[in-house]
Structure 1
């Protein structure tokens, strides 16, 4: 639970750390949600695989590296997709709501932090390098989310990510911390 709160706080801080562009007069939440859903679905497949590798004592640089590579691809694809969407004015009544967006990206971020937090250099010697390579893509997706999503979504995600902040700080994932506003 602590990681979830830290991660939420981290993400909401991003909303305050990054300037928002001028909001256009349209609600593009329906365009924003599909890339976030794809990301969350991908993370929901990869993170259990990482857990399975840990549980079966098969976690190593090669096996975890392959999973992290897929995470990098997913976060980069999300950043790219979000960048091509106009900023949303949002809505708290029309589905998908601002909170729907925040919960979806927040869930993906939370799963990544909780799933990777148990990996140590004793188990995966190159884990620090792998996490460093994941830092930029996560930060890019969060930054793209902050520009595209309604401000209320970014604020809510920040609250959801308070627990994850500690993980990002412990792993020296400074780009993600900055994107989250920490």
Structure 2
């Protein structure tokens, strides 16, 4: 009898203690696009520079750190801006669509992971693990915030990363891997 009275109270208490996200009533994809597009451009530029540094045999802890700082600054800014953007109801017909956002953000993550792949094996960057330990929480925070703000776009990002997730593991980006839904 006592349990029957306490159970509803416990359920109500648990519901009130849970974090609530705003309802998805407005399509804010256009605002989200203006936030993630510059990050994709930055990732593309950083990836290209890292690839060039490797090809020219001039990649070092210092040159990599410079590129990662540029990327990290862009990711932090995007995370902050996404957090200030209303959760999107999304759209499958009005551009930018959910899939267009997912494609752009997925491209960003793929560029980061593939440009960093193989650096550890080359042994040219002695503090590579330390640099990845700095990047990982920043990148995973951006992934989590994108998932919160554009929840209908996130599944495509996960699908796009199915093959590239191996690079996340190899680079030690475990928090990002988890944020993308891989165990």
Q: TM-score range by the shorter chain?
A: 0.7 to 0.9
3-state SS in 2 of match to 1:91:
coil
State the Cα deviation string for residues 36-94 of structure 1 (Å, max 9, x = none).
10100111111111111111111011111111111111111111111100000000000
1:146 — aligned with what? 147
2:44 — aligned with what? 44
Q: Mean alpha-carbon deviation: is it higher for 21-30 or for 35-44?
A: 21-30
2:4 — aligned with what? none
3-state SS in 1 of match to 2:87:
coil
3-state SS in 1 of match to 2:91:
coil
Runs of 4 or more, structure 1, over 6 Å off, are none
Alignment RMSD: 1.5
Gaps of 5+ in 1: 1-18
Q: TM-score, normalised by structure 1?
A: 0.85
Structure ranking higher on relative contact order (CA contacts 8 Å, 6+ apart): 1
CA distance in 2, matches of 1:28, 1:115: 31
Residue 115 of structure 1 and its aligned partner are, at CA, apart by: 0.5
Larger Rg: 2
Q: TM-score, normalised by structure 2?
A: 0.85
Question: After superposition, where does 1:124-135 map in structure 2 within 5 Å?
Answer: 124-135=125-136
1:97 — aligned with what? 97
2:170 — aligned with what? 170
Aligned residues: 163
CA distance in 2, matches of 1:125, 1:62: 10
The answer to whether the 8 Å contact 2:22/2:86 transfers is no
Residue 22 of structure 1 and its aligned partner are, at CA, apart by: 4.4
1:122 — aligned with what? 123
Gaps of 5+ in 2: 1-18
CA distance in 1, matches of 2:47, 2:97: 26
